[in-house]
Structure 1
Amino acid sequence: MSLQQKVDISREIQRITLAHGSGGVAMRDLVENEIVTAFSNPHLDALEDQARIDLRELTAFGDQLAMTTDSFVVDPLEFPGGDIGTLAVNGTVNDLAMCGAKPRHLTCGLIIEEGLSLDTLRRILSSMKKAADIAGVTIVSGDTKVVHKGAADKLFINTSGIGVIPEQTDISASGAQVGDVVIVNGWVGDHGATIMASREDLSLDTQLQSDCRPLYSEVNALLKSSAVHCLRDATRGGIATVLNEFADSSDVRIVLDQSAIPVRDEVRGVCELLGLDPLYLANEGKFVAVVPASDAENALRALKQCPGAENACVIGRVEAVTELRSYAGVSMKTTFGSERMIDMLTGDQLPRIC
């Protein structure tokens, strides 16, 4: 065998091939040596087709089970502040946290395109493990599929999660009441602006980073300090979409104050360059909460003590539907003193964002 042939074989070994999804030796080696090793825990190490979880472990935290699933197809796979792996973990645990649930366990399904670098896969698995440890969850079961080159874009991840909702916790999109205030837990639009800047290779003086992080600790602090009527993480569609969902489900008007909405100058710059609106940009570490006005001060004080939520603030209020404003919806008082409607996003500002 020539030296060049040896080099070609070495390179092939360092990439995912169809054999890694065949159910044979190569797949076993990939699962056991890379995936199980990365996520190692007693549930996963058993290598059964399912994870077996003691119900007593769950009921110790509450009386309702929360379950969610999500798929992640971000482009690029790796970006400042995170990668598709951190998105998969944090996106799923945050969906659980938005009903007050304490996240406990995740599953992980990998759809891998033939030819993906094994080093890239290892980095993403490592970041998933790190994100899971920070969020306090374990990845207990999963699945791996390999598809032909061109049938996917490098790597897609599906994660499902379960968590436990404490007793007497009832949060829903239909809970907004007239007189409530709207709170956001920090800077808006960081993730969407970061992904687009990475795609377009924009040169910025200050490096933007995704806000991808777990939010349960902030939600827990909020619940201990205030009644919470509505709560949702502002991912695809941004805070504008979340608030329209609240307004429609609760049959109320939500009025925002543009000057109060926290947006970084760098995010504004990206939006101006590309014709985007920060209200519709995706976030991966931000939620929108609707709380009674009487609890707002306590809620903000509790949030600002949480790392990452130091810029939490009130950005709007909930008003009644009246004869003058005869339908539920969202509007914004602009810095020029006028008022404009904030509709649901039509189309997709940024495809493949998460």
Structure 2
Amino acid sequence: MNQTVRPERRVLAQRVTLAHGGGGKAMRDLIEDVFTSVFAPPGMEDQARLMDASLLEPGAELAFTTDSFVVSPMEFPGGDIGTISVCGTVNDLAVGGARPLWLSAAFIIEEGVEITTLRQIAASMQKSALEAGVRIVTGDTKVVGKGSGDGVFVTTAGIGVIPPGRRMLAESVRPGDIALVSGVLGDHGAAILAARGDMDLTSDIRSDCQPLNHLIEAVLTAVPDIRAARDATRGGLASALNEVAYAAGVGIEITEADLPLRQEVRGICEILGLDPLYLANEGTLVLFVPPDQAVSALAAMKSVPAGRGARVIGKAVTAHPGTVIMKTVLGGARIVDMLVGEQLPRIC
């Protein structure tokens, strides 16, 4: 049988033009050269056809999520919009107990964006996908006129499989359960703020952006009874804890002295009048486990690079259901509410 040999397609332009979104040769060249040559999806049909043995296991559940990413600036210390678009979707699957398998990626590109920028984004996405052990299998590309967008927007969707018997839901948290975090808080929000250059701030802080699925699997091996997990992204630790408190109908108490924060993050927050509890993270895990399994969970977290800075920060209680209370370093207590308004725009 004769096989059709496709010519190698190369984008010769230095910047994206409206022709790259017009459905013709320029668009095909852009897709094949910049994206599919990196992601290597299974075929070039209008859909990906997928199968994994874990889908056939009795009692397994399919997990599906989607998210959009509009980071400004698109590149920052520790990552770029491509890194976040993969890690964010992988982590949304993983905190529900799913083993991520496949991603889709859709791009909205503003006319005038440099082709080298797209190549960097695609390379970052593939690097993060390989780190997480997932494949980018399908996608879409659209080009909008100059002034109609803001560089590049990325929407990713992810599919994973929840093994039989695994149940990680916020509503499962019970009074007495222990709250842990996998590492320092607020690095992503602080890194983005410093990278914008709007203020005269210099910092060595890097985003914590990373996939968390391997960390969660390591903890599940040691502690199969994880009650719930959250990745503390927009709204930071405060919003993640409030989501759990509301869903489970429990109170949550944390101790300020136990929160892992870099001095640089504290300093930026003090200068700008921000609360680090609301700063975004892109690779920090919040876990709730039964009290008799907290030691094992902490040890399992510390055994994985993504969890080396893990700490116990508090517990669930019967008092003040639906409310998060922090014991301050001054000996008092304050309510830690959900984020109201927008503390830092465009952080993920």
| TM-score, normalisation: structure 2 | 0.94
Corresponding residue to 2:189 among 163, 170, 192? 192
* 2:126 is the alignment partner of 1:129: yes
Structure 1 residues 223-263: Cα deviation after superposition (integer angstroms, max 9, x where no partner): 12222111110000001001111111111110110000000
- Say if 1:189 and 1:278, in contact at 8 Å, map to a contact too: yes
- Say if 1:61 and 1:102, in contact at 8 Å, map to a contact too: no
Structure 1 residues 33-83: Cα deviation after superposition (integer angstroms, max 9, x where no partner): 211101114x1xx11000001253633697111110000000000000000
**Inter-partner Cα distance in structure 2 for 1:17 and 1:155:** 13
**Inter-partner Cα distance in structure 2 for 1:182 and 1:129:** 33
Structure-to-structure mapping, 1:51-200, within 5 angstroms: 51-56=48-53, 58-59=55-56, 63-199=60-196, 200=198
* 2:328 is the alignment partner of 1:330: no
- Say if 2:186 and 2:265, in contact at 8 Å, map to a contact too: yes
* 2:302 is the alignment partner of 1:304: yes
Q: State the match for 2:253 in structure 1.
A: 255
* 2:305 aligned counterpart, secondary structure: coil
- Say if 1:61 and 1:164, in contact at 8 Å, map to a contact too: no
Corresponding residue to 1:279 among 264, 277, 280? 277
* 1:71 aligned counterpart, secondary structure: strand
- Residue identity matched to 1:171: M
* 1:143 aligned counterpart, secondary structure: strand
- Say if 1:59 and 1:164, in contact at 8 Å, map to a contact too: no
**Inter-partner Cα distance in structure 1 for 2:153 and 2:23:** 19
**Inter-partner Cα distance in structure 2 for 1:297 and 1:57:** 30
* 2:262 is the alignment partner of 1:264: yes
- Residue identity matched to 2:330: F
Q: State the match for 2:286 in structure 1.
A: 288
Cα displacement (A) at 1:328: 2.1
Q: What's the RMSD between the two structures over aligned residues?
A: 1.6
* 2:244 is the alignment partner of 1:239: no
* 2:172 aligned counterpart, secondary structure: coil
Corresponding residue to 2:339 among 338, 345, 348? 345
**Inter-partner Cα distance in structure 1 for 2:233 and 2:279:** 8
**Aligned residue-pair number:** 336
- Say if 2:55 and 2:61, in contact at 8 Å, map to a contact too: no
- Residue identity matched to 1:302: A
**Inter-partner Cα distance in structure 2 for 1:88 and 1:51:** 19
Cα displacement (A) at 1:302: 0.6
Q: State the match for 1:28 in structure 2.
A: 28
**Inter-partner Cα distance in structure 2 for 1:61 and 1:21:** 43
Structure 1 residues 301-351: Cα deviation after superposition (integer angstroms, max 9, x where no partner): 111010131110110111103xxx4x4200100000000000111001011
**Inter-partner Cα distance in structure 1 for 2:246 and 2:49:** 40
Shift in alpha-carbon separation, 1:72–1:197, aligned structure 2, 3 A: same
| TM-score, normalisation: structure 1 | 0.92
After superposing on structure 2, the runs of 4+ consecutive aligned residues of structure 1 that deviate more than 6 Å are none
**Inter-partner Cα distance in structure 1 for 2:86 and 2:33:** 21
